Amino acid sequence: MGAEAVESPLWAEPHIRQGVEPVSIVIFGATGDLTARKLVPALFSLAQEDMLPPGFGIVGFARRPWSHEDFRQKMRDGVEAFSRHPPDEQSVWEGFAANLFYVRGGFTEGERYAVLDRFLREQAEAEGRPDNRLYYLAAPPQFYAEIIAHLGRARMARDSEAGWRRIVIEKPFGYDLKTATELNEIVHLVFGEEQIYRIDHYLGKETVQNILVLRFANAIFEPIWNRRYVDHVQISVAESVGIGGRAGYYDQAGVIRDIFQNHILQLLTLVAMEPPVAFEADAVRDEKVKVLRAMRPMSHHEIETHTVRAQYAAGVVNGEHVPGYCEEPNVAPDSQTATYAALKWYVDNWRWHGVPFYLRSGKRMATRATEVSIHFKRPPHLLFDAMDDEELRANVLALRIQPDEGIALRFEAKLPGQGMARRSVTMDFSYRESFGATSSPDAYERLLLDAMRGDPTLFARSDEIEWAWRLIDPIFEGWQSEYAPPLETYEAGTWGPRGADELLERDGRRWRRLLDG
Ligand code: BG6
């Protein structure tokens, strides 16, 4: 594929490309949505950018009786719809598709793992390459333990002279602290921690990684990144989509498990962590874990006063009428699942003592926007009269994670004229303008490549997952107790419930408008 290759931003770091050894990527749950929407399109983009090694295979494993050809056809549909580089010529697709294979097998059918094992071994032998394997669990989570146990029993998990073995585990990793700990124990019986890659696709987003670059590759931010200068921090993950066809999963998970346990806590740890000693897996993850440990699980009183939960009612999103959550297919009409939450939380350490972190996320909101904003304290003394009605606005550093990726700094400037009237202005860095529209790989591209290269820095470690659940469990339990705040409703296509505004108003603050800053 080299001759046709599209230029990749990852080429800027040639060692990344060189670090990828020949490998078979084995996808458990290959007939599911994730494989066609995310995994194979990401691998196709990597192939187009010449980032995959000459010897690579993608082997789908699932129950449906598909042939290699069926699998290739379905994947082609997915690649055409979702890849950054949809194939423009038949030959380009065929070059890639020749590496796609399918092995039929139920996750509980032990003998099919032996078939898979043989297939992978023979494939590697035929191509004269090492039998390196990256197993990817894209199956329903209730099968994770069983798949892992079968891989162990079939002796498919240990690194050997034939090649290395790694496993990528999709979220959700457990359902609460107990199940996550059990799952960690089960995986550790079969795989060493260094072989395990627990994925959170937020960590694969360019702008999420850029939080680290902004903080630790610049000298001007770190000195003010603390309680002396920061008034509060806001993290918003707003989605305009609903739950799609995922009622079965979502009604059990709700927004707290779906977004807070993983994506929001990941963002928070990157914003709040101390500088790691190196950009290396354990150094980074140690610092992230320290942040989680510094956050206190919420007390009953805090559940009552620092959390807001809500569910969307019918409304209009992007000009389209959409049903309320309880009218979605397969959701019980009296479901109490929260599709929106807002929380106020503290990180109890020297850097952040007393600085509230306001976190919010919801489905079916006015727009899709993820943003972290650092709100600085106001100047201690105002030289200039309040010449207009507007209060003196505080400086805000906004990290726009998506969709309009960039960073904006708001500050006060003098209005041209004789007096000293001021207005807030914004200094804006846009990824698209600075680096060009094609420069951002999809999160899965980066993470798949890192797993192939054996770099777990952007994956969650076992203790990190468990600390996150330790924080999330009390919220869930609290919401089922007498301390639960009322389940509010918000109209689809709006910015969430009244209670979320009140959460900040009580502290004399307000949510940042995400639409236009
Ligand atoms: C997933 C959640 O982890 O993240 C989904 O399960 C959510 O419910 C998605 O829609 C959001 O990801 P992104 O990349 O679109 O922000």
Going by their DSSP bridges, the two strands 165-169 and 133-137 should be labelled as parallel
Pairing mode of beta strands 320-322, 315-317: antiparallel
What is the per-residue pLDDT for 389? 44
Q: How many whole angstroms from 311 Cα to the centroid of ligand 1?
A: 17
The distance from CA 145 to its chain's CA centroid, rounded to whole angstroms, is 23
Gap from CA of 279 to ligand 1 centroid (Å): 26
- Exposure b/e, 120-155, CB count within 10 A at least 16 = b: bbebbeebebbbbbbbbbbbebebbbebbbbbbebe
CA-proximal residue: ligand 1, atom 6 (nearest): 258
Identify the pLDDT of residue 5.
52
Locate the ligand 1 atom nearest the alpha carbon of residue 443 and give its number. Answer: 14
Going from the Cα of 383 to the center of ligand 1, the distance in angstroms, rounded, reads 46
Measured from the Cα of 171, ligand 1's closest atom is 3
Residue list, ligand 1 pocket, CB within 6 Å:
171, 201, 239, 241, 258, 370
Report how far ligand 1's centroid is from the alpha carbon of 246 (Å).
12
User: Residue with the nearest Cα to atom 9 of ligand 1?
Assistant: 259
- Site to substitute for ligand 1 among 82, 207, 259, most atoms within 8 A of C-beta: 259
Q: 63: Cβ–Cβ under 8 A, 6 or more apart, which residues?
A: 31, 104, 105, 106, 107
Q: Whose CA is nearest to atom 2 of ligand 1?
A: 258
Which pLDDT value is given to residue 360? 98
Q: Are 416 and 178 in contact (CB under 8 A)?
A: no
Q: Is 263 a catalytic residue?
A: yes
Atom of ligand 1 at shortest distance to CA of 243? 8
Residue nearest to atom 15 of ligand 1 (CA): 239
Strand ranges of the sheet holding 406-414, from the earlier edge strand across to the other edge: 422-430, 406-414, 396-402, 369-376, 230-238, 356-362, 340-346, 307-313, 487-491
Nearest CA to ligand 1 atom 8: 258
Whose CA is closest to 500, among 338, 296, 274? 338
Q: Determine which residue's CA is closest to atom 5 belonging to ligand 1.
A: 258
pLDDT tens-digit profile of 286-329?
Answer: 999 999 999 999 999 999 999 999 999 999 999 999 999 999 99
- How far is C-alpha 170 from the chain's CA centre? 11
d(CA 40, CA 38) in angstroms, rounded, equals: 6
Residues in the chain: 517
**Sequence-separated contacts (24+) of 430-435 with Cβ below 8 Å:** 430/404, 430/405, 430/406, 431/206, 431/207, 431/405, 431/406, 432/404, 432/405, 432/406, 435/9
Cα–Cα distance for residue pair 271/375, rounded to 1 Å: 13
CA atoms within 13 A on the CB side of 330: 10
Q: What is the pLDDT of residue 14?
A: 58
* 496 CA from centroid of ligand 1 (Å): 18
Write out residues in the chain with pLDDT < 70, as ranges. Answer: 1-18, 385-392, 437-439, 516-517
* 360 CB neighbour count, 10 Å cutoff: 26
Task: Record the pTM.
Answer: 0.94
Are the C-beta atoms of 308 and 479 separated by less than 8 Å? Answer: no
Is 376:395 a contact under the CB 8 Å cutoff? yes
Q: Return the ligand 1 atom nearest residue 200 CA.
A: 3
Q: One of 263, 300, 321, 353 is an active-site residue; which one?
A: 263
The first and second tokens of residue 328, run together, are: 């979605």
Nearest to 400 by CA among 251, 485, 259, 513: 513
Q: Which of 38, 199, 239 to mutate to test the pocket of ligand 1 (most atoms within 8 A of CB)?
A: 239
Distance 475 CA to ligand 1 centre (A): 20
Distance 137 CA to ligand 1 centre (A): 17
Three-state secondary structure call for residue 183: helix
Domains and CATH numbers, the chain: 5-170 (3.40.50.720), 203-505 (3.30.360.10)
Q: Which atom of ligand 1 is nearest to the CA of 246?
A: 8
For position 92, what pLDDT does the model report? 85
Tens of pLDDT, residue by residue over 419-447, are 888 888 999 999 888 888 665 788 999 99
**What is the C-alpha to C-alpha distance for residues 315 and 491, in angstroms, rounded to an integer?**
5
Q: Ligand 1 atom 13: the closest Cα is on which residue?
A: 202
Report the distance separating Cα 270 and Cα 458, nearest Å. 11
Rounded Cα–Cα distance for residues 10 and 40 (Å): 19
The alpha-carbon radius of gyration of the chain (Å, integer) is 24
Of all protein residues, the one whose alpha carbon is nearest to atom 4 of ligand 1 is 259
Q: Which of 126, 127, 129, 138 is nearest to 31 (CA)?
A: 138
Distance 345 CA to ligand 1 centre (A): 22
Q: Do 358 and 343 meet the contact criterion of CB atoms below 8 Å apart?
A: yes
Q: Rounded to an integer, what distance in angstroms lies between the CA atom of residue 419 and that of residue 416?
A: 8
pLDDT at 391: 58
147-152, Cβ contacts within 8 angstroms, sequence gap of 24 or more:
147/28, 147/107, 148/186, 148/187, 148/190, 148/191, 149/186, 149/190, 150/107, 150/108, 150/110, 150/113, 151/113, 151/190, 152/189, 152/190
Q: Which atom belonging to ligand 1 lies closest to the Cα atom of 370? A: 16
Contacts of 387 (CB under 8 A, 6+ apart): 419, 420, 421, 422
